[in-house]
């Protein structure tokens, strides 16, 4: 039976894409979707071994991809990497800010380090990459920036004040930046995933997963491919009139 994710036909031939946090989970699925659509993909993360697997999957399917070890919190390194990629590939068409971390705990016992690491990775990292990419996109008068936020940034979540703050900030960042760059034909949108299947969710066990599914009208957790499909559409030329928007993909949980 054909996969429903194959039904969205997007042609990104000749385009280049940068995906942060591409070594696993959502980032890996997004990088593969963009590569399968014809984009040349720069896969970024800290784990080089896992990045190599993402690149292998893309190239095995006939796509083009390269891996780059990257610390999204290092401003000078981000600028250099993006400038080097723009020079090597001639342009940067698509940026997906997906890299993120969680350091969950209740606020009264949350350390400065737990707060700072989440804000610096999830929000500052997106700022650094968007700033670097937008310079090239503005000159080219074309670009797509997609920021991966979360439903936690919309409705909040106990034990995640740092994470929810970073994702809510990313939504505000998206809306504001879209107003700055729209005249240059650069669109900026956010995607808010809900409960997505991962190694972490599998470790919760069947009983807990059954309770989670009861909160989701579609009655299943999402797959990374559900998010990748939404990103693929927003990254496409067909989404040229969509900017400053937040696409929530959560099976109806926040509806």
pLDDT mean values, one per 10 residues, the chain (255 residues): 71 97 96 97 95 97 96 96 97 97 95 97 98 98 98 93 97 98 98 87 76 89 95 97 98 91
Q: In total, how many domains does the chain have?
A: 1
CATH number of the domain where residue 221 is located: 3.40.50.720
**2 part of a folded domain:** no
Within a domain: residue 57? Answer: yes
Question: Could you tell me if residue 3 is inside a domain?
Answer: no
pLDDT for 204 equals: 65
Within a domain: residue 254? no
Q: Please, which contacts does 212-221 make with residues 24 or more away whose CB atoms are closer than 8 Å?
A: 215/253, 216/250, 216/251, 216/252, 216/253, 217/251, 217/252, 217/253, 217/255, 218/251, 218/252, 219/251, 220/251, 221/194, 221/195, 221/196, 221/197, 221/251
pLDDT digits (tens, 9 = 90+) for 83-100: 999 999 999 999 999 999
- 153 inside domain: yes
Q: What residues contact residue 248 under an 8 Å CB cut-off, 6+ apart? A: 151, 154, 191, 192, 194, 254
Domain that holds residue 63: 12-249
Identify the active-site residue in 5, 142, 163, 241: 163
Residue 4 lies in a domain: no
CB crowding 115-128: b at 16 or more within 10 Å, else e? bebbbbbbbbbbbb
Q: How many CA atoms lie within 13 A of 217 on its CB side?
A: 7
Does residue 19 form part of some domain? yes
Annotate 161-197 with b (16+ C-beta within 10 A) or e (fewer): bbbbbbbbbbbebbbebbeebeeeebbbbbbbbbbbb
Does some domain include residue 255?
Answer: no
Kindly report the backbone phi and psi dihedral angles of residue 87, in degrees, each rounded to the nearest multiple of 5, phi listed first: -70, -40
Residue 5 annotated in active site: no
pLDDT in tens, 111-133: 999 999 999 999 999 999 999 99
Q: What is the reported pTM?
A: 0.95
Q: Give the chain's end-to-end CA distance (angstroms, integer).
A: 30
Give the pLDDT of residue 115: 98
């Amino acid at each position: 039976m054909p996969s429903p994710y194959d039904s969205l036909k997007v042609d990104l031939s000749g385009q280049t894409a940068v995906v942060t946090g591409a070594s696993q989970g959502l980032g890996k699925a997004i990088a593969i979707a963009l590569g399968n659509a014809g984009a040349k993909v720069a896969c970024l993360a800290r784990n080089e071994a896992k990045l190599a697997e993402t690149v292998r999957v893309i190239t095995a399917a006939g796509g083009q991809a390269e891996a780059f070890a990257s610390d999204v919190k290092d401003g000078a390194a981000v600028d250099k990497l993006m400038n080097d990629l723009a020079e090597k590939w001639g342009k940067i068409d698509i940026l997906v800010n997906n890299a993120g971390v969680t350091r969950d705990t209740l606020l009264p016992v949350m350390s400065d380090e737990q707060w700072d690491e989440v804000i610096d990775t999830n929000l500052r990292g997106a700022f650094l990459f968007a700033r670097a990419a937008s310079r090239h996109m503005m000159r080219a008068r074309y670009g797509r920036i997609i920021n991966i936020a979360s439903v936690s940034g919309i409705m909040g979540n106990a034990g995640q004040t740092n994470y929810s703050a970073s994702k809510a900030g990313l939504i505000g960042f998206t809306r504001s930046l879209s107003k700055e760059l729209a005249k240059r034909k650069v669109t900026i949108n956010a995607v808010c995933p809900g409960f997505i299947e991962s190694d972490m969710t599998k470790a919760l066990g069947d009983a807990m997963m059954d309770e989670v599914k009861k909160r989701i009208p579609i009655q299943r957790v999402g797959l990374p491919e559900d998010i990748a499909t939404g990103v693929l559409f927003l990254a496409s030329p067909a989404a040229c009139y969509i900017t400053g928007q937040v696409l929530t993909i959560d099976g109806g949980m926040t509806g």
